[in-house]
């Protein structure tokens, strides 16, 4: 007898991994990216959700560091391997990178460029992707099988865009503070 599926929401800056066939990961994306990586032979997979590709300080700020793509990707891959996934079996599906607000810089395009570069560098096969446009996406991902469903949504587009705009503003402020407090070192 089949039990009901358990939907786990993956928020900005989060990474989720599972080998439970009853788990479905879900998220809503604007300019953010979600990469779903899976090993269907072993039955394990995971999803991340990141806001920005990465930067000079992308590894320094605790849990908020996972809002950066480089950190979110490393955490996702390492988690899947730790859960029993085999590197040579890994495949991925990637979503997001929309231009949700005209007032924002084109973070979506930067995120897409980062993901493509990262996957090529790591030699990971991306079996499907959906990038760009100007609509938010609702993603559902079954980590054990690698199945994914996407629906384009407009009901939350403004809210997603405003949230991403606020995060970007916060990140710019952190970057300014970080640079202004970094001591200079004189080498002889």
Of 38, 9, 3, residue with least CA distance to 22: 3
Q: Cα–Cα distance between 6 and 104 in angstroms, integer?
A: 35
| Range with the poorest average pLDDT among 31-40, 137-146, 147-156 | 147-156
Give the pLDDT score at 23: 96
Round the average pLDDT of the chain to a whole number and report it.
82
Q: Is residue 146's pLDDT more than 60?
A: yes
State the CATH architecture for 6-180: 2-Layer Sandwich (3.30)
For 37-91, the pLDDT digits (tens) are 999 999 999 999 998 777 544 444 444 444 578 999 999 999 999 999 999 999 9
| Range with the poorest average pLDDT among 24-33, 42-51, 116-125, 152-161 | 152-161
Apex CA 81: angle with CA 79 and CA 83, to 5°? 70
At 96, list the tokens: 């997001």
Q: Is residue 174's pLDDT more than 60?
A: no
Q: Average pLDDT in the 25-48 region?
A: 96
| Range with the poorest average pLDDT among 10-24, 64-78, 90-104, 110-124 | 64-78
The percent of residues in the chain predicted with pLDDT above 70, rounded, is: 71
Q: What's the pTM value of the predicted model, to 2 decimals?
A: 0.77
Residue for token pair 């402020």: 173
Q: Average pLDDT in the 26-38 region?
A: 95
At 75, list the tokens: 């955490």
DSSP 40: T
**What are the residue boundaries of the structural domains of the chain, listed by start?**
6-180
Residue for token pair 């991925």: 92
Give the pLDDT score at 85: 97
């Amino acid at each position: 007898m089949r039990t009901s599926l358990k939907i786990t929401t993956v928020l900005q800056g989060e990474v989720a991994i599972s080998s439970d066939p009853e788990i479905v990961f879900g998220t809503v994306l604007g300019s953010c990216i979600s990469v779903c990586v899976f090993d269907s032979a072993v039955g394990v997979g995971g999803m991340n959700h990141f806001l920005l590709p990465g930067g000079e300080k992308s590894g320094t700020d605790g849990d908020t560091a996972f809002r950066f793509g480089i950190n979110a990707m490393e955490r996702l891959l390492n988690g899947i391997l730790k859960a029993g996934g085999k590197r040579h079996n890994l495949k991925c599906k990637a979503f997001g990178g929309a231009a949700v607000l005209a007032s924002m810089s084109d973070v979506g395009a930067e995120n897409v460029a980062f993901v493509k570069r990262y996957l090529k560098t790591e030699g990971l096969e991306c079996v499907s992707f959906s990038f760009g446009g100007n609509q938010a996406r609702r993603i559902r991902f079954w980590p054990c099988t690698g199945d994914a469903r996407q629906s384009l949504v407009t009901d939350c587009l403004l809210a997603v865009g405003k949230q991403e705009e606020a995060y970007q503003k916060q990140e710019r402020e952190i970057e300014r503070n970080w640079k202004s407090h970094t001591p200079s070192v004189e080498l002889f």
